[in-house]
Structure 1
Amino acid sequence: MTMPLVVGIDGSEASLEAVDWAAGETARHKLPLHLVCAAAPGQEASDVISRASERARMASPSTRMSSEVLHEDAASALVSKGRNAFALVLGSRGLGDLAGMLLGSVSLAVAARADCPVVVVRGAPEHRDARFGSVVVGVEGREGSDTAVQFAFREAHVRRCRLVAVHAWSAPTGAPSEPPPPYWYALETHWRPPTQVLEDALRGPAERYRNATVDRRVVEGPARKALLEAASGADLLVVGAGKRHGHIGLQLGLINHAVLHHAPCPIVVVPHI
Protein backbone atom coordinates (compact mmCIF):
# COMPACT_ATOMS: atom_id res chain seq x y z
CA MET A 1 0.00 0.00 0.00
CA THR A 2 1.36 3.42 -0.98
CA MET A 3 1.86 5.74 1.96
CA PRO A 4 -0.01 9.04 1.63
CA LEU A 5 1.21 12.58 1.88
CA VAL A 6 -0.53 13.92 5.00
CA VAL A 7 -1.48 17.59 5.29
CA GLY A 8 -2.52 19.29 8.52
CA ILE A 9 -5.33 21.80 7.93
CA ASP A 10 -7.09 24.29 10.20
CA GLY A 11 -8.76 26.70 7.78
CA SER A 12 -5.95 29.25 7.85
CA GLU A 13 -4.55 30.62 4.60
CA ALA A 14 -1.16 29.11 5.48
CA SER A 15 -2.69 25.64 5.75
CA LEU A 16 -4.44 26.10 2.37
CA GLU A 17 -1.09 27.08 0.86
CA ALA A 18 0.24 23.83 2.32
CA VAL A 19 -2.59 21.96 0.58
CA ASP A 20 -1.70 23.60 -2.74
CA TRP A 21 1.95 22.62 -2.34
CA ALA A 22 1.11 19.07 -1.26
CA ALA A 23 -1.23 18.56 -4.21
CA GLY A 24 1.62 19.36 -6.57
CA GLU A 25 3.87 16.97 -4.68
CA THR A 26 1.37 14.10 -4.91
CA ALA A 27 1.17 14.63 -8.67
CA ARG A 28 4.97 14.42 -8.98
CA HIS A 29 5.32 11.32 -6.81
CA LYS A 30 1.95 9.72 -7.72
CA LEU A 31 0.91 9.60 -4.06
CA PRO A 32 -2.50 9.76 -2.40
CA LEU A 33 -3.30 12.87 -0.36
CA HIS A 34 -4.76 12.67 3.14
CA LEU A 35 -6.15 15.79 4.83
CA VAL A 36 -6.20 15.87 8.62
CA CYS A 37 -8.08 18.43 10.67
CA ALA A 38 -7.57 18.35 14.44
CA ALA A 39 -10.64 19.94 16.05
CA ALA A 40 -11.90 20.33 19.59
CA PRO A 41 -14.98 18.25 20.51
CA GLY A 42 -18.11 19.97 19.18
CA GLN A 43 -16.11 22.16 16.80
CA GLU A 44 -17.41 22.22 13.22
CA ALA A 45 -14.72 21.02 10.83
CA SER A 46 -16.70 20.15 7.70
CA ASP A 47 -16.17 23.60 6.14
CA VAL A 48 -12.44 23.36 6.74
CA ILE A 49 -12.30 19.95 5.06
CA SER A 50 -14.47 21.11 2.15
CA ARG A 51 -12.35 24.18 1.41
CA ALA A 52 -9.12 22.23 1.58
CA SER A 53 -10.49 19.41 -0.59
CA GLU A 54 -11.59 21.89 -3.24
CA ARG A 55 -8.15 23.53 -3.28
CA ALA A 56 -6.49 20.13 -3.68
CA ARG A 57 -8.80 19.13 -6.56
CA MET A 58 -8.11 22.38 -8.37
CA ALA A 59 -4.35 21.92 -8.01
CA SER A 60 -4.27 18.22 -8.91
CA PRO A 61 -7.57 16.79 -10.20
CA SER A 62 -6.26 13.23 -10.60
CA THR A 63 -4.90 12.86 -7.06
CA ARG A 64 -6.59 10.26 -4.85
CA MET A 65 -7.80 12.05 -1.77
CA SER A 66 -9.15 11.24 1.70
CA SER A 67 -9.76 13.22 4.87
CA GLU A 68 -10.56 12.87 8.54
CA VAL A 69 -11.25 14.94 11.63
CA LEU A 70 -9.44 14.04 14.84
CA HIS A 71 -10.59 15.41 18.18
CA GLU A 72 -7.24 15.71 19.89
CA ASP A 73 -4.22 17.93 20.18
CA ALA A 74 -3.12 18.93 16.67
CA ALA A 75 0.58 18.20 17.09
CA SER A 76 -0.05 14.78 18.65
CA ALA A 77 -2.60 13.88 15.97
CA LEU A 78 -0.24 14.78 13.14
CA VAL A 79 2.77 13.04 14.68
CA SER A 80 0.66 9.88 15.02
CA LYS A 81 -0.45 10.07 11.37
CA GLY A 82 3.13 10.64 10.31
CA ARG A 83 4.13 7.13 11.39
CA ASN A 84 2.50 5.82 8.21
CA ALA A 85 3.06 8.77 5.89
CA PHE A 86 5.41 9.61 3.05
CA ALA A 87 5.72 13.01 4.73
CA LEU A 88 3.74 15.51 6.80
CA VAL A 89 2.99 18.89 5.24
CA LEU A 90 2.13 21.94 7.33
CA GLY A 91 1.61 25.64 6.90
CA SER A 92 4.07 28.01 8.51
CA ARG A 93 1.43 29.46 10.85
CA GLY A 94 -2.00 28.40 12.06
CA LEU A 95 -5.16 30.20 13.14
CA GLY A 96 -4.18 30.19 16.79
CA ASP A 97 -0.68 31.62 16.37
CA LEU A 98 0.13 35.18 17.31
CA ALA A 99 0.49 37.74 14.55
CA GLY A 100 4.12 38.31 13.68
CA MET A 101 5.26 34.82 14.62
CA LEU A 102 7.77 33.44 12.13
CA LEU A 103 6.71 29.82 12.65
CA GLY A 104 3.58 28.37 14.21
CA SER A 105 3.79 26.38 17.43
CA VAL A 106 2.16 23.27 15.91
CA SER A 107 4.54 23.24 12.95
CA LEU A 108 7.56 23.51 15.22
CA ALA A 109 6.27 20.81 17.60
CA VAL A 110 5.56 18.40 14.74
CA ALA A 111 8.96 19.04 13.13
CA ALA A 112 10.62 18.17 16.45
CA ARG A 113 8.63 14.99 17.11
CA ALA A 114 7.72 13.31 13.82
CA ASP A 115 9.21 10.04 12.58
CA CYS A 116 8.83 10.97 8.92
CA PRO A 117 9.95 13.96 6.86
CA VAL A 118 8.11 17.17 7.78
CA VAL A 119 7.53 19.93 5.23
CA VAL A 120 6.81 23.46 6.41
CA VAL A 121 5.46 25.43 3.47
CA ARG A 122 6.98 28.90 3.58
CA GLY A 123 7.85 31.70 1.21
CA ALA A 124 6.35 33.79 -1.55
CA PRO A 125 4.35 32.24 -4.42
CA GLU A 126 7.39 32.02 -6.69
CA HIS A 127 9.14 29.80 -4.14
CA ARG A 128 6.07 27.67 -3.40
CA ASP A 129 5.22 27.19 -7.09
CA ALA A 130 8.58 25.68 -8.13
CA ARG A 131 9.62 28.52 -10.44
CA PHE A 132 13.36 28.45 -9.63
CA GLY A 133 14.21 24.92 -10.76
CA SER A 134 16.44 24.21 -7.78
CA VAL A 135 16.44 22.01 -4.67
CA VAL A 136 18.97 22.82 -1.92
CA VAL A 137 20.22 20.27 0.60
CA GLY A 138 22.39 20.87 3.65
CA VAL A 139 25.12 18.20 3.80
CA GLU A 140 26.51 17.07 7.14
CA GLY A 141 29.28 14.66 7.96
CA ARG A 142 27.43 12.77 10.69
CA GLU A 143 26.43 9.12 10.48
CA GLY A 144 22.86 8.65 9.29
CA SER A 145 22.65 12.12 7.76
CA ASP A 146 22.57 10.72 4.23
CA THR A 147 18.78 10.29 4.47
CA ALA A 148 18.35 14.01 3.83
CA VAL A 149 20.66 13.81 0.81
CA GLN A 150 18.72 10.86 -0.59
CA PHE A 151 15.44 12.72 -0.10
CA ALA A 152 16.84 15.78 -1.88
CA PHE A 153 18.11 13.76 -4.86
CA ARG A 154 14.69 12.16 -5.25
CA GLU A 155 12.99 15.57 -5.12
CA ALA A 156 15.33 17.01 -7.72
CA HIS A 157 14.72 13.95 -9.90
CA VAL A 158 10.91 14.13 -9.86
CA ARG A 159 11.03 17.91 -10.36
CA ARG A 160 13.61 17.54 -13.16
CA CYS A 161 15.69 20.33 -11.67
CA ARG A 162 19.20 20.83 -10.37
CA LEU A 163 20.35 19.94 -6.88
CA VAL A 164 22.48 22.37 -4.89
CA ALA A 165 24.44 20.50 -2.21
CA VAL A 166 25.81 22.83 0.48
CA HIS A 167 28.39 21.82 3.08
CA ALA A 168 29.38 24.57 5.50
CA TRP A 169 32.39 24.13 7.73
CA SER A 170 34.50 25.96 10.28
CA ALA A 171 38.11 25.22 11.11
CA PRO A 172 38.64 23.51 14.50
CA THR A 173 39.90 25.66 17.36
CA GLY A 174 43.57 26.41 16.89
CA ALA A 175 43.56 25.48 13.21
CA PRO A 176 44.76 27.96 10.59
CA SER A 177 42.10 30.29 9.19
CA GLU A 178 43.05 29.39 5.62
CA PRO A 179 42.31 25.84 4.34
CA PRO A 180 45.26 23.82 5.70
CA PRO A 181 47.52 21.63 3.56
CA PRO A 182 46.65 17.93 3.10
CA TYR A 183 49.13 16.69 5.72
CA TRP A 184 47.32 18.68 8.44
CA TYR A 185 44.19 16.58 7.98
CA ALA A 186 46.23 13.40 8.36
CA LEU A 187 47.20 14.59 11.84
CA GLU A 188 43.53 15.10 12.73
CA THR A 189 42.09 11.60 12.28
CA HIS A 190 38.59 12.74 13.22
CA TRP A 191 38.63 15.50 10.61
CA ARG A 192 38.00 15.08 6.90
CA PRO A 193 38.57 17.78 4.29
CA PRO A 194 35.27 19.59 3.69
CA THR A 195 35.30 18.66 0.00
CA GLN A 196 35.68 15.01 1.01
CA VAL A 197 32.73 15.23 3.41
CA LEU A 198 30.61 16.55 0.57
CA GLU A 199 31.76 13.98 -1.97
CA ASP A 200 31.28 11.08 0.48
CA ALA A 201 27.72 12.19 1.19
CA LEU A 202 26.82 12.54 -2.50
CA ARG A 203 28.50 9.41 -3.86
CA GLY A 204 25.78 6.82 -3.17
CA PRO A 205 22.74 8.86 -4.27
CA ALA A 206 24.63 10.22 -7.29
CA GLU A 207 25.21 6.66 -8.50
CA ARG A 208 21.47 6.00 -8.30
CA TYR A 209 20.49 9.28 -9.97
CA ARG A 210 23.17 9.36 -12.65
CA ASN A 211 21.47 12.05 -14.71
CA ALA A 212 21.22 14.47 -11.80
CA THR A 213 22.70 17.93 -12.21
CA VAL A 214 24.49 18.70 -8.94
CA ASP A 215 25.98 22.04 -7.93
CA ARG A 216 28.51 21.39 -5.14
CA ARG A 217 29.17 24.22 -2.70
CA VAL A 218 31.70 24.09 0.14
CA VAL A 219 31.37 27.19 2.31
CA GLU A 220 33.57 28.24 5.20
CA GLY A 221 31.28 29.90 7.73
CA PRO A 222 27.99 29.43 9.58
CA ALA A 223 25.76 26.75 8.08
CA ARG A 224 22.55 28.67 8.69
CA LYS A 225 23.83 31.65 6.66
CA ALA A 226 25.02 29.43 3.81
CA LEU A 227 21.73 27.52 3.65
CA LEU A 228 19.53 30.60 3.79
CA GLU A 229 21.54 32.28 1.04
CA ALA A 230 21.31 29.18 -1.17
CA ALA A 231 17.58 28.86 -0.47
CA SER A 232 16.93 32.41 -1.70
CA GLY A 233 16.91 30.99 -5.23
CA ALA A 234 15.36 27.60 -4.50
CA ASP A 235 12.01 25.83 -4.60
CA LEU A 236 12.82 23.59 -1.65
CA LEU A 237 15.36 23.39 1.18
CA VAL A 238 16.15 19.98 2.68
CA VAL A 239 17.90 19.51 6.04
CA GLY A 240 18.45 16.52 8.30
CA ALA A 241 17.87 16.07 12.02
CA GLY A 242 19.26 13.45 14.39
CA LYS A 243 17.29 11.51 16.98
CA ARG A 244 17.50 12.55 20.63
CA HIS A 245 19.46 10.04 22.69
CA GLY A 246 17.19 8.60 25.34
CA HIS A 247 14.31 10.94 24.46
CA ILE A 248 11.43 11.02 22.01
CA GLY A 249 11.87 13.38 19.09
CA LEU A 250 14.64 15.01 17.09
CA GLN A 251 17.57 17.24 17.85
CA LEU A 252 16.60 20.23 15.74
CA GLY A 253 19.47 22.37 16.95
CA LEU A 254 20.23 26.01 16.21
CA ILE A 255 20.72 25.56 12.47
CA ASN A 256 17.40 23.82 11.91
CA HIS A 257 15.57 26.30 14.13
CA ALA A 258 17.07 29.15 12.12
CA VAL A 259 16.05 27.77 8.72
CA LEU A 260 12.60 26.70 9.95
CA HIS A 261 11.95 30.27 11.09
CA HIS A 262 13.63 32.15 8.25
CA ALA A 263 13.77 30.02 5.09
CA PRO A 264 12.42 31.90 2.06
CA CYS A 265 11.04 28.69 0.53
CA PRO A 266 9.37 25.44 1.69
CA ILE A 267 11.66 23.45 3.97
CA VAL A 268 11.82 19.72 4.69
CA VAL A 269 13.25 18.28 7.92
CA VAL A 270 14.28 14.67 7.31
CA PRO A 271 14.99 12.43 10.32
CA HIS A 272 18.34 10.66 10.29
CA ILE A 273 18.21 6.87 10.22
Structure 2
Amino acid sequence: MYLPLVAGVDGSEPSLRAVDWAADEAALHGVSLLVLYGALWERYEGSALARELGKPFARVEAEDILRAAAERARRRRPDLLVTTETVPDEAEHGLVCAGRNASMIVVGNRGRSGVADRLLGSVSRTVAAASDCPVVVLRGNHDDRAVAGRHGRIIVGLGDAPTSVLQFAFTEARLRRVPLTVVRAWRCPAHETVDHPLLTGEPARLYEERAAKELEAALEYAPSDIAVRRRTAEGPARSVLPAASSGADLMVIGRRAHGRLGRVAHSVLHRSACPVVVVPEQR
Protein backbone atom coordinates (compact mmCIF):
# COMPACT_ATOMS: atom_id res chain seq x y z
CA MET A 1 0.00 0.00 0.00
CA TYR A 2 1.36 3.40 -0.97
CA LEU A 3 1.38 6.10 1.68
CA PRO A 4 -0.33 9.38 0.75
CA LEU A 5 1.40 12.69 0.22
CA VAL A 6 0.27 15.38 2.68
CA ALA A 7 -0.11 19.09 1.89
CA GLY A 8 -0.62 21.56 4.72
CA VAL A 9 -2.96 24.51 4.01
CA ASP A 10 -4.13 27.55 5.96
CA GLY A 11 -5.75 29.62 3.22
CA SER A 12 -2.65 31.69 2.47
CA GLU A 13 -1.35 32.05 -1.08
CA PRO A 14 1.90 30.17 -0.29
CA SER A 15 -0.10 27.24 1.07
CA LEU A 16 -2.39 27.12 -1.97
CA ARG A 17 0.65 27.17 -4.24
CA ALA A 18 1.92 24.27 -2.15
CA VAL A 19 -1.25 22.36 -3.06
CA ASP A 20 -0.41 22.80 -6.76
CA TRP A 21 3.10 21.50 -6.21
CA ALA A 22 1.86 18.65 -4.02
CA ALA A 23 -0.69 17.56 -6.62
CA ASP A 24 2.05 17.30 -9.24
CA GLU A 25 4.30 15.38 -6.88
CA ALA A 26 1.56 12.97 -5.80
CA ALA A 27 0.69 12.25 -9.44
CA LEU A 28 4.37 11.76 -10.23
CA HIS A 29 4.72 9.18 -7.45
CA GLY A 30 1.36 7.53 -8.08
CA VAL A 31 0.00 8.19 -4.58
CA SER A 32 -3.05 9.97 -3.21
CA LEU A 33 -3.05 13.51 -1.81
CA LEU A 34 -4.27 14.39 1.68
CA VAL A 35 -4.91 18.11 2.22
CA LEU A 36 -4.70 18.92 5.92
CA TYR A 37 -5.79 21.96 7.94
CA GLY A 38 -4.87 22.39 11.62
CA ALA A 39 -7.54 24.12 13.72
CA LEU A 40 -7.99 24.47 17.47
CA TRP A 41 -11.72 25.30 17.58
CA GLU A 42 -12.75 21.88 19.01
CA ARG A 43 -10.17 22.04 21.78
CA TYR A 44 -11.09 25.54 22.94
CA GLU A 45 -14.86 25.62 22.41
CA GLY A 46 -15.81 22.02 23.02
CA SER A 47 -18.42 19.92 21.24
CA ALA A 48 -21.24 20.85 23.67
CA LEU A 49 -20.79 24.59 23.09
CA ALA A 50 -20.51 24.00 19.34
CA ARG A 51 -23.89 22.23 19.35
CA GLU A 52 -25.51 25.08 21.29
CA LEU A 53 -24.22 27.86 19.08
CA GLY A 54 -24.05 26.08 15.74
CA LYS A 55 -20.84 25.61 13.81
CA PRO A 56 -18.21 28.12 14.97
CA PHE A 57 -16.66 30.46 12.44
CA ALA A 58 -13.31 28.68 12.69
CA ARG A 59 -14.86 25.44 11.46
CA VAL A 60 -16.67 27.14 8.62
CA GLU A 61 -13.39 28.74 7.62
CA ALA A 62 -11.56 25.39 7.76
CA GLU A 63 -14.18 23.69 5.59
CA ASP A 64 -14.07 26.48 3.03
CA ILE A 65 -10.29 26.41 2.85
CA LEU A 66 -10.15 22.64 2.48
CA ARG A 67 -12.88 22.59 -0.16
CA ALA A 68 -11.13 25.25 -2.24
CA ALA A 69 -7.75 23.52 -1.90
CA ALA A 70 -9.15 20.11 -2.86
CA GLU A 71 -10.95 21.52 -5.90
CA ARG A 72 -7.76 23.25 -6.95
CA ALA A 73 -5.82 19.97 -6.75
CA ARG A 74 -8.49 18.06 -8.67
CA ARG A 75 -8.63 20.63 -11.45
CA ARG A 76 -4.88 20.41 -11.77
CA ARG A 77 -4.73 16.61 -11.67
CA PRO A 78 -8.18 15.19 -12.55
CA ASP A 79 -7.09 11.57 -12.02
CA LEU A 80 -5.62 12.23 -8.57
CA LEU A 81 -7.39 10.88 -5.46
CA VAL A 82 -7.71 13.87 -3.10
CA THR A 83 -8.98 13.72 0.49
CA THR A 84 -9.17 16.40 3.17
CA GLU A 85 -8.88 16.47 6.93
CA THR A 86 -9.18 19.02 9.71
CA VAL A 87 -7.22 18.21 12.86
CA PRO A 88 -8.08 19.90 16.20
CA ASP A 89 -4.50 20.88 16.89
CA GLU A 90 -1.75 23.31 15.94
CA ALA A 91 -0.86 22.99 12.27
CA GLU A 92 2.72 21.93 12.93
CA HIS A 93 1.75 19.16 15.35
CA GLY A 94 -1.02 17.92 13.07
CA LEU A 95 1.36 17.74 10.12
CA VAL A 96 4.09 15.97 12.09
CA CYS A 97 1.55 13.38 13.28
CA ALA A 98 0.24 12.93 9.74
CA GLY A 99 3.82 12.44 8.54
CA ARG A 100 4.07 9.18 10.48
CA ASN A 101 1.87 7.60 7.82
CA ALA A 102 2.82 9.69 4.80
CA SER A 103 5.32 9.43 1.98
CA MET A 104 6.06 13.17 2.01
CA ILE A 105 4.79 16.49 3.40
CA VAL A 106 4.60 19.67 1.32
CA VAL A 107 4.27 23.10 2.95
CA GLY A 108 4.69 26.71 1.89
CA ASN A 109 7.62 28.56 3.34
CA ARG A 110 5.30 30.81 5.33
CA GLY A 111 1.62 31.06 6.20
CA ARG A 112 -0.90 33.80 6.82
CA SER A 113 1.25 35.33 9.55
CA GLY A 114 4.27 35.64 7.25
CA VAL A 115 5.65 39.11 6.63
CA ALA A 116 8.06 38.49 3.76
CA ASP A 117 8.74 35.70 1.29
CA ARG A 118 12.36 35.49 2.36
CA LEU A 119 11.41 34.55 5.91
CA LEU A 120 10.73 30.97 6.99
CA GLY A 121 7.47 30.40 8.87
CA SER A 122 7.31 28.61 12.20
CA VAL A 123 5.12 25.81 10.83
CA SER A 124 7.45 24.93 7.95
CA ARG A 125 10.49 25.15 10.22
CA THR A 126 8.97 22.93 12.91
CA VAL A 127 7.64 20.31 10.50
CA ALA A 128 10.95 20.13 8.61
CA ALA A 129 12.75 19.55 11.91
CA ALA A 130 10.45 16.93 13.41
CA SER A 131 8.77 14.93 10.64
CA ASP A 132 9.47 11.23 10.19
CA CYS A 133 9.11 11.56 6.41
CA PRO A 134 10.70 13.95 3.87
CA VAL A 135 9.38 17.51 3.98
CA VAL A 136 9.26 19.86 0.99
CA VAL A 137 9.41 23.57 1.84
CA LEU A 138 8.53 25.64 -1.20
CA ARG A 139 11.17 28.32 -1.43
CA GLY A 140 11.89 30.53 -4.43
CA ASN A 141 10.11 30.84 -7.76
CA HIS A 142 9.00 27.30 -8.52
CA ASP A 143 6.19 28.28 -10.91
CA ASP A 144 3.81 26.17 -8.79
CA ARG A 145 5.17 23.05 -10.50
CA ALA A 146 6.96 20.00 -9.16
CA VAL A 147 7.89 18.83 -12.65
CA ALA A 148 9.16 20.39 -15.88
CA GLY A 149 11.22 22.97 -14.03
CA ARG A 150 13.14 25.74 -15.74
CA HIS A 151 16.60 24.38 -14.92
CA GLY A 152 16.01 20.65 -15.37
CA ARG A 153 18.32 19.77 -12.50
CA ILE A 154 18.19 18.50 -8.93
CA ILE A 155 20.96 19.28 -6.45
CA VAL A 156 21.71 17.23 -3.35
CA GLY A 157 24.02 18.33 -0.57
CA LEU A 158 26.24 15.44 0.51
CA GLY A 159 26.69 15.36 4.27
CA ASP A 160 28.36 12.88 6.59
CA ALA A 161 25.50 10.33 6.50
CA PRO A 162 24.46 10.32 2.85
CA THR A 163 22.45 7.10 2.40
CA SER A 164 18.89 8.33 2.99
CA VAL A 165 19.30 11.67 1.23
CA LEU A 166 20.99 10.12 -1.81
CA GLN A 167 18.35 7.42 -2.22
CA PHE A 168 15.63 10.05 -2.12
CA ALA A 169 17.47 12.23 -4.63
CA PHE A 170 18.01 9.29 -7.00
CA THR A 171 14.27 8.55 -6.96
CA GLU A 172 13.30 12.14 -7.67
CA ALA A 173 15.82 12.50 -10.50
CA ARG A 174 14.63 9.25 -12.08
CA LEU A 175 10.94 10.22 -11.93
CA ARG A 176 11.63 13.67 -13.37
CA ARG A 177 14.15 12.35 -15.92
CA VAL A 178 16.68 15.03 -15.04
CA PRO A 179 20.37 14.92 -14.05
CA LEU A 180 21.41 14.99 -10.42
CA THR A 181 24.26 17.17 -9.17
CA VAL A 182 25.83 16.00 -5.91
CA VAL A 183 27.68 18.75 -4.05
CA ARG A 184 30.30 18.19 -1.36
CA ALA A 185 31.49 21.33 0.41
CA TRP A 186 34.99 21.47 1.87
CA ARG A 187 37.01 23.91 3.91
CA CYS A 188 40.63 24.33 4.89
CA PRO A 189 40.53 25.00 8.64
CA ALA A 190 41.90 28.38 9.64
CA HIS A 191 44.57 26.86 11.88
CA GLU A 192 46.04 24.85 8.99
CA THR A 193 48.85 26.75 7.32
CA VAL A 194 51.50 26.04 4.75
CA ASP A 195 53.91 25.55 7.65
CA HIS A 196 52.02 22.51 8.94
CA PRO A 197 54.45 19.54 8.74
CA LEU A 198 51.86 17.18 7.22
CA LEU A 199 50.59 19.51 4.53
CA THR A 200 53.83 20.35 2.72
CA GLY A 201 52.59 23.72 1.51
CA GLU A 202 49.34 22.62 -0.16
CA PRO A 203 46.61 22.37 2.51
CA ALA A 204 43.76 23.50 0.27
CA ARG A 205 44.54 20.91 -2.42
CA LEU A 206 44.59 18.10 0.14
CA TYR A 207 41.23 19.05 1.61
CA GLU A 208 39.72 19.32 -1.86
CA GLU A 209 41.08 15.90 -2.78
CA ARG A 210 39.64 14.43 0.40
CA ALA A 211 36.21 15.89 -0.47
CA ALA A 212 36.43 14.42 -3.98
CA LYS A 213 37.27 10.97 -2.57
CA GLU A 214 34.35 11.15 -0.14
CA LEU A 215 32.10 12.08 -3.04
CA GLU A 216 33.27 9.15 -5.14
CA ALA A 217 32.89 6.73 -2.23
CA ALA A 218 29.31 7.84 -1.57
CA LEU A 219 28.42 7.48 -5.26
CA GLU A 220 30.13 4.15 -5.83
CA TYR A 221 26.79 2.40 -6.28
CA ALA A 222 24.87 5.23 -7.94
CA PRO A 223 22.18 3.96 -10.37
CA SER A 224 23.40 3.71 -13.94
CA ASP A 225 20.14 5.07 -15.38
CA ILE A 226 20.65 8.51 -13.81
CA ALA A 227 23.10 11.14 -15.02
CA VAL A 228 25.03 12.02 -11.86
CA ARG A 229 27.36 15.01 -11.80
CA ARG A 230 29.93 15.47 -9.07
CA ARG A 231 30.93 18.83 -7.67
CA THR A 232 33.22 19.89 -4.84
CA ALA A 233 33.02 23.49 -3.63
CA GLU A 234 35.19 25.39 -1.19
CA GLY A 235 33.37 27.01 1.69
CA PRO A 236 30.92 26.13 4.47
CA ALA A 237 27.99 24.02 3.31
CA ARG A 238 25.56 26.57 4.74
CA SER A 239 26.85 29.03 2.13
CA VAL A 240 27.73 26.68 -0.73
CA LEU A 241 24.31 25.01 -0.98
CA PRO A 242 22.13 28.16 -1.04
CA ALA A 243 24.41 29.57 -3.74
CA ALA A 244 24.04 26.38 -5.80
CA SER A 245 20.24 26.43 -5.47
CA SER A 246 19.88 29.29 -7.98
CA GLY A 247 20.53 26.83 -10.82
CA ALA A 248 18.24 24.04 -9.60
CA ASP A 249 14.57 23.12 -9.51
CA LEU A 250 14.92 21.15 -6.28
CA MET A 251 17.46 21.07 -3.45
CA VAL A 252 17.73 17.91 -1.34
CA ILE A 253 19.41 17.97 2.06
CA GLY A 254 19.60 15.60 5.00
CA ARG A 255 18.64 15.99 8.64
CA ARG A 256 19.76 13.98 11.62
CA ALA A 257 16.93 12.03 13.24
CA HIS A 258 16.86 13.93 16.53
CA GLY A 259 14.08 16.40 15.82
CA ARG A 260 16.25 19.46 15.25
CA LEU A 261 17.55 21.33 12.25
CA GLY A 262 21.30 21.73 12.05
CA ARG A 263 23.03 24.93 10.97
CA VAL A 264 23.27 23.81 7.36
CA ALA A 265 19.60 22.82 7.01
CA HIS A 266 18.50 25.98 8.80
CA SER A 267 20.53 28.18 6.47
CA VAL A 268 19.40 26.39 3.31
CA LEU A 269 15.74 26.64 4.30
CA HIS A 270 16.10 30.37 4.88
CA ARG A 271 18.17 31.21 1.80
CA SER A 272 17.46 28.68 -0.96
CA ALA A 273 16.29 29.98 -4.35
CA CYS A 274 14.34 26.78 -5.06
CA PRO A 275 12.15 24.28 -3.19
CA VAL A 276 14.02 22.35 -0.49
CA VAL A 277 13.43 18.75 0.59
CA VAL A 278 14.61 17.88 4.10
CA VAL A 279 15.15 14.11 4.36
CA PRO A 280 15.48 12.61 7.86
CA GLU A 281 18.07 9.92 8.45
CA GLN A 282 16.76 6.39 8.71
CA ARG A 283 16.56 5.31 12.35
Which string of whole-angstrom CA distances, capped at 9 and with x for unpartnered residues, describes residues 166-197 of structure 1? Answer: 000112454357xx68xx9xxx9xx9811111
Corresponding position: 1:259 with 2:254: no
User: RMSD of the TM alignment (CA)?
Assistant: 2.4
How far residue 239 of structure 1 moved from its aligned partner, in angstroms, is 0.3
Query: Deviation above 4 Å: which 4+ runs of structure 1?
Result: 126-129
Where structure 2 has 5 or more consecutive residues not aligned to the other structure, the ranges are 42-55
Larger radius of gyration: 2
Shift, 1:93, TM fit: 0.8
Residue 161 of structure 1 aligns with which residue? 178
Corresponding residue of 2:47: none
**1:125-155 CA deviation, whole Å, 9 max, x = no partner?**
4484522110000001x24x32111111110
- 1:15 equivalent in structure 2: 15
Cα distance in 1 for residues equivalent to 2:38 and 2:144: 27
Aligned CA distance change for structure 1 residues 111 and 62 (closer, same or farther; 3 Å): same
CA contact (8 A) 2:24 2:145 kept: no
User: 1:100 and 1:218, CA in 2 relative to 1: closer, same or farther beyond 3 A?
Assistant: closer
Q: Secondary structure at the match of 2:219?
A: helix
Alignment check: 8 A CA contact 1:137 1:238 kept:
yes
TM-score using structure 1 length: 0.87
Aligned match for 1:234, one of 248, 272, 275: 248
Residue of structure 2 in register with 1:132 after alignment: 151
Change (3 A) 1:257 1:198: same
Percent of residue pairs bearing the same amino acid type: 44
After TM superposition, give the deviation of residue 243 of structure 1 in Å: 2.3
Q: Whole-Å Cα distance in 1 between the matches of residues 182 and 29 of structure 2?
A: 22
* Correspondent of 1:211 among 225, 231, 241: 225
Confirm whether residue 64 of structure 1 aligns to residue 81 of structure 2: yes
> 1:126·1:132 contact (CA, 8 Å) conserved in 2?
no
Give the superposition deviation at 1:220.
Answer: 1.4
Give the TM-score normalised by the residue count of structure 2: 0.84
Which structure 2 residues correspond to residues 66-81 of structure 1 after superposition, within 5 A?
66-81=83-98
CA 1:102 to 1:239, structure 2 compared with 1: closer, same or farther past 3 Å? same
Report if aligned partners of 1:9, 1:36 keep a CA contact under 8 Å in 2.
yes
Indicate how the Cα distance of structure 1 residues 40 and 139 shifts in structure 2: closer, same or farther if over 3 A, else same: same
